[in-house]
Structure 1
Amino acid sequence: MERIEILKALIPVFTEALDSDFDVILKEATTAADVNGWDSLTHIQLVVAIERKFKIRFTSKEIQTWKNVGELITGIENKIKMQ
Protein backbone atom coordinates (compact mmCIF):
# COMPACT_ATOMS: atom_id res chain seq x y z
CA MET A 1 0.00 0.00 0.00
CA GLU A 2 1.40 3.39 -1.04
CA ARG A 3 1.74 6.31 1.39
CA ILE A 4 -0.88 8.33 -0.49
CA GLU A 5 -3.34 5.43 -0.25
CA ILE A 6 -2.76 5.21 3.50
CA LEU A 7 -3.24 8.97 3.85
CA LYS A 8 -6.51 8.81 1.90
CA ALA A 9 -7.69 5.87 4.04
CA LEU A 10 -6.95 7.86 7.20
CA ILE A 11 -9.25 10.76 6.29
CA PRO A 12 -12.55 8.97 7.05
CA VAL A 13 -11.02 7.42 10.18
CA PHE A 14 -10.05 10.86 11.49
CA THR A 15 -13.35 12.39 10.40
CA GLU A 16 -15.35 9.78 12.29
CA ALA A 17 -13.15 9.67 15.40
CA LEU A 18 -13.18 13.46 15.67
CA ASP A 19 -16.95 13.53 15.01
CA SER A 20 -16.43 16.12 12.30
CA ASP A 21 -19.18 17.27 9.94
CA PHE A 22 -16.57 17.72 7.21
CA ASP A 23 -13.69 15.57 6.00
CA VAL A 24 -10.59 16.28 8.05
CA ILE A 25 -7.79 17.64 5.86
CA LEU A 26 -4.61 15.67 6.43
CA LYS A 27 -1.10 16.11 5.09
CA GLU A 28 2.04 14.30 6.18
CA ALA A 29 3.11 17.37 8.17
CA THR A 30 -0.25 17.61 10.02
CA THR A 31 0.04 17.52 13.81
CA ALA A 32 -2.58 17.33 16.55
CA ALA A 33 -2.29 21.10 16.99
CA ASP A 34 -3.44 21.55 13.37
CA VAL A 35 -6.73 19.66 13.78
CA ASN A 36 -9.68 20.87 15.85
CA GLY A 37 -10.68 18.29 18.44
CA TRP A 38 -7.50 16.19 18.24
CA ASP A 39 -6.58 15.98 21.90
CA SER A 40 -5.14 13.22 24.09
CA LEU A 41 -8.47 11.41 24.42
CA THR A 42 -9.27 11.46 20.71
CA HIS A 43 -5.66 10.43 20.01
CA ILE A 44 -6.37 7.14 21.79
CA GLN A 45 -9.62 6.74 19.86
CA LEU A 46 -7.78 7.46 16.61
CA VAL A 47 -5.12 4.84 17.35
CA VAL A 48 -7.77 2.21 18.11
CA ALA A 49 -9.70 3.08 14.94
CA ILE A 50 -6.51 2.98 12.85
CA GLU A 51 -5.54 -0.39 14.30
CA ARG A 52 -8.98 -1.75 13.37
CA LYS A 53 -8.92 -0.24 9.89
CA PHE A 54 -5.51 -1.66 9.00
CA LYS A 55 -5.74 -4.80 11.19
CA ILE A 56 -2.51 -3.93 12.99
CA ARG A 57 -1.40 -3.24 16.59
CA PHE A 58 0.96 -0.58 17.88
CA THR A 59 2.95 -0.58 21.09
CA SER A 60 2.67 2.45 23.34
CA LYS A 61 6.35 3.14 22.62
CA GLU A 62 5.64 3.34 18.87
CA ILE A 63 2.67 5.64 19.41
CA GLN A 64 4.70 8.03 21.55
CA THR A 65 7.30 8.56 18.83
CA TRP A 66 4.88 10.02 16.26
CA LYS A 67 5.19 13.77 15.80
CA ASN A 68 2.91 14.12 12.76
CA VAL A 69 0.71 12.20 10.35
CA GLY A 70 3.70 11.33 8.17
CA GLU A 71 5.34 9.45 11.04
CA LEU A 72 2.02 7.70 11.73
CA ILE A 73 1.91 6.63 8.08
CA THR A 74 5.46 5.28 8.37
CA GLY A 75 4.35 3.28 11.41
CA ILE A 76 1.41 1.86 9.46
CA GLU A 77 3.68 1.00 6.52
CA ASN A 78 6.09 -0.83 8.80
CA LYS A 79 3.30 -2.85 10.39
CA ILE A 80 1.77 -3.77 7.02
CA LYS A 81 5.17 -4.96 5.77
CA MET A 82 5.47 -7.26 8.80
CA GLN A 83 2.19 -9.04 8.05
Structure 2
Amino acid sequence: MDKKDILAKMQEIFIDILDNDDIVLTNSTTSDDIDEWDSLSHIQLIVEIEKQFNIKLTSHEVTELANVGEMADVISKRLN
Protein backbone atom coordinates (compact mmCIF):
# COMPACT_ATOMS: atom_id res chain seq x y z
CA MET A 1 0.00 0.00 0.00
CA ASP A 2 1.54 3.31 -1.03
CA LYS A 3 1.25 6.61 0.80
CA LYS A 4 -1.53 7.86 -1.50
CA ASP A 5 -3.65 4.79 -0.66
CA ILE A 6 -2.88 5.20 3.05
CA LEU A 7 -3.97 8.85 2.96
CA ALA A 8 -7.19 7.91 1.15
CA LYS A 9 -8.02 5.28 3.76
CA MET A 10 -7.11 7.68 6.56
CA GLN A 11 -9.43 10.29 5.05
CA GLU A 12 -12.32 7.80 5.18
CA ILE A 13 -11.52 7.16 8.86
CA PHE A 14 -11.34 10.87 9.67
CA ILE A 15 -14.64 11.55 7.89
CA ASP A 16 -16.32 8.73 9.80
CA ILE A 17 -14.89 9.45 13.27
CA LEU A 18 -15.19 13.24 13.05
CA ASP A 19 -18.53 13.08 11.24
CA ASN A 20 -17.48 15.67 8.67
CA ASP A 21 -17.84 14.82 4.97
CA ASP A 22 -15.86 17.94 3.98
CA ILE A 23 -12.52 16.72 5.37
CA VAL A 24 -9.74 16.53 2.80
CA LEU A 25 -6.45 15.31 4.24
CA THR A 26 -3.07 16.39 2.96
CA ASN A 27 0.40 15.58 4.25
CA SER A 28 0.46 18.88 6.13
CA THR A 29 -2.98 18.59 7.78
CA THR A 30 -2.89 19.01 11.57
CA SER A 31 -5.50 19.10 14.32
CA ASP A 32 -5.45 22.90 14.01
CA ASP A 33 -6.95 22.54 10.51
CA ILE A 34 -10.00 20.48 11.55
CA ASP A 35 -12.34 21.91 14.19
CA GLU A 36 -13.68 18.50 15.24
CA TRP A 37 -10.20 17.06 15.87
CA ASP A 38 -9.72 17.45 19.63
CA SER A 39 -7.90 15.31 22.20
CA LEU A 40 -10.76 12.84 22.60
CA SER A 41 -11.32 12.40 18.88
CA HIS A 42 -7.53 12.02 18.45
CA ILE A 43 -7.67 8.89 20.61
CA GLN A 44 -10.64 7.61 18.62
CA LEU A 45 -8.76 8.26 15.37
CA ILE A 46 -5.66 6.39 16.57
CA VAL A 47 -7.72 3.41 17.75
CA GLU A 48 -9.58 3.21 14.43
CA ILE A 49 -6.39 3.63 12.39
CA GLU A 50 -4.78 0.78 14.33
CA LYS A 51 -7.85 -1.36 13.72
CA GLN A 52 -8.24 -0.57 10.01
CA PHE A 53 -4.55 -0.97 9.18
CA ASN A 54 -4.08 -3.89 11.61
CA ILE A 55 -1.12 -2.22 13.31
CA LYS A 56 -0.22 -1.09 16.84
CA LEU A 57 1.35 2.33 17.35
CA THR A 58 3.56 3.09 20.32
CA SER A 59 2.76 6.02 22.59
CA HIS A 60 6.06 7.58 21.49
CA GLU A 61 5.04 7.39 17.82
CA VAL A 62 1.65 8.91 18.55
CA THR A 63 3.02 11.81 20.60
CA GLU A 64 5.76 12.63 18.08
CA LEU A 65 3.40 13.01 15.10
CA ALA A 66 3.33 16.57 13.78
CA ASN A 67 0.85 16.09 10.93
CA VAL A 68 -1.10 13.59 8.84
CA GLY A 69 1.85 13.01 6.50
CA GLU A 70 4.01 11.82 9.39
CA MET A 71 1.19 9.57 10.54
CA ALA A 72 0.96 8.07 7.04
CA ASP A 73 4.74 7.51 7.05
CA VAL A 74 4.55 5.60 10.35
CA ILE A 75 1.66 3.50 9.01
CA SER A 76 3.61 2.78 5.83
CA LYS A 77 6.65 1.61 7.82
CA ARG A 78 4.44 -0.67 9.93
CA LEU A 79 2.83 -2.20 6.86
CA ASN A 80 6.15 -3.00 5.19
Query: Shared fold (TM-score greater than 0.5)?
Result: yes
- Amino acid in structure 1 at the alignment position of 2:3: R
Query: Which of structures 1 and 2 has the larger relative contact order (alpha carbons within 8 angstroms, sep 6+)?
Result: 2
TM-score (norm 1): 0.92
Runs ≥4 in structure 1, deviation > 6 angstroms?
Answer: none
TM-score (norm 2): 0.95
What is the alpha-carbon distance in structure 1 between the residues aligned to residue 6 and residue 77 of structure 2? Answer: 12
Q: How far did residue 23 of structure 1 move?
A: 4.1
What is the alpha-carbon distance in structure 2 between the residues aligned to residue 9 and residue 56 of structure 1? Answer: 14
Residue ranges of structure 2 left out of the alignment (5+ in a row): none
RMSD: 0.8
The answer to whether residue 22 in structure 2 is matched with residue 7 in structure 1 is no
Q: What is the match of residue 80 of structure 1? A: 79
Deviations 1:55-74 (A, max 9, x none): 00001111001000000001
Residue ranges of structure 1 left out of the alignment (5+ in a row): none
Summarize the alignment of residues 38-77 of structure 1 with structure 2, pairs less than 5 Å apart.
Answer: 38-77=37-76
Identical positions, percent: 40
Deviations 1:3-40 (A, max 9, x none): 101001111100111122x1411000000000121011
Q: What is the match of residue 34 of structure 1? A: 33
